A and B are shown apart, each in its own frame.
Chain A
Amino acid sequence: MKSFLSFFGIGLFLGILFIKSEVASWFRIYEMFQFKSFHMYGIIGSAIALGIIIVKYLKHSQAKGFWGKEINIMPKEKGFTRYILGGIIFGLGWALAGACPGPMFVLIGTMLPSIIVLILGALLGTFVFGILKDKLPH
């Protein structure tokens, strides 16, 4: 229950944040890809800048997690093709749908049936990737 509530609580906070910062708005994504506003760049940029300091600190101090949990900061697997091709496909969808996976769930709160279609599309895309995985260049 403690575990459920803490993760649910983080999600709740994140959901409000995705809406109040408007990163879940299709319009903001379009504006970003037109380079017409600093808003999205400021959000992603400042999150990364502070994130780098946080990760450096956690690694350097060898800090423990809450409740004595082990901290795991995993490096990404090396590679190029899968990252660039997967990235391009993701980017096409991000711009078209105006939502990445986090915002996709937050938009359920609009109560628009189209969001269900969007999420079903994402699940279908994930499923088809699973089928084709071994045939794709990595």
Chain B
Amino acid sequence: MDLIYKTWPWYVAGPLIALTMFLLIKMGKKFGMSSNLRTMCSIGGAGKFVDFFKFDWKKDVWNLYVVLGVIFGGFIALQFLSPTAPQINQDVVIQLQELGINSTNTAFLPTELFSLESVLSIKGFAIILIGGFLVGFGSRYAGGCTSGHAISGLSNLQIPSLIAIIGFFIGGLVMVHLIFPLIF
């Protein structure tokens, strides 16, 4: 049981992600999470306004079943299987303190950003909403996210996926190193 409660090391988690991709391919599908956002927009009626959302989303409903499983799996893991918070590199703990984030090593997500109190402030709400917006916009523009490009695309040796991942890193590094000091 101890093995389940502890953080799963990279050499367990990585191969298990590959296994998930293998199972989905064997089921005639693919591993990619962000396309669900488009499907959800379509189900919500976005096709009435924009042609991009007029597509036969019924054949992608299988992926929503995966999402439903992910939600339940996350609930189970967070509520019952995770007694300790992620333990982060000590240098990073200090860096985050300088940014005013002190919940490192005590919570799964920084309470300074994700608590109810924070998200009810204008700044806190804007950070979360804009973060989500950029993920949604960027993943559809690039045609995939971490699962679709980094895992599925690179496994299939796709150059477009490599370009997208270089983009992911440029964006991530700019955010963390140049923009974080301005907003926190």
> Which chain A residues have a beta carbon within 8 Å of chain B's beta carbons?
3-4, 6-34, 36-52, 54-55, 58, 63, 65-66, 69-80, 82-102, 104-110, 112-115, 117-131, 133, 136
Contacts and interface: CB of A to CB of B under 8 A. Distances in A.
How many chain B residues sit at the interface, stated as a range, is 35 or more
B130 interface: yes
Contacts, number: 498
Interface of B: 4, 7-28, 30, 33-34, 36-38, 40-41, 44, 46, 49-50, 52-53, 62-63, 65-79, 81-82, 86, 88-89, 91-92, 95-96, 104, 108-110, 113-116, 118-119, 124-125, 127-147, 149-161, 163-177, 179
A66 B25 CA distance: 9
Contacts of A73: 25, 30, 156
B125 to A, nearest CB: 6
A100 B14 contact: no
A27 B68 contact: no
A74 B156 CA distance: 9
Q: Which of B12, B13, B151, B176 has the most CB of A within 10 A?
A: B13
A122 B37 contact: yes
Nearest to B89: A36
B91 A36 contact: yes
A106 B146 CA distance: 15
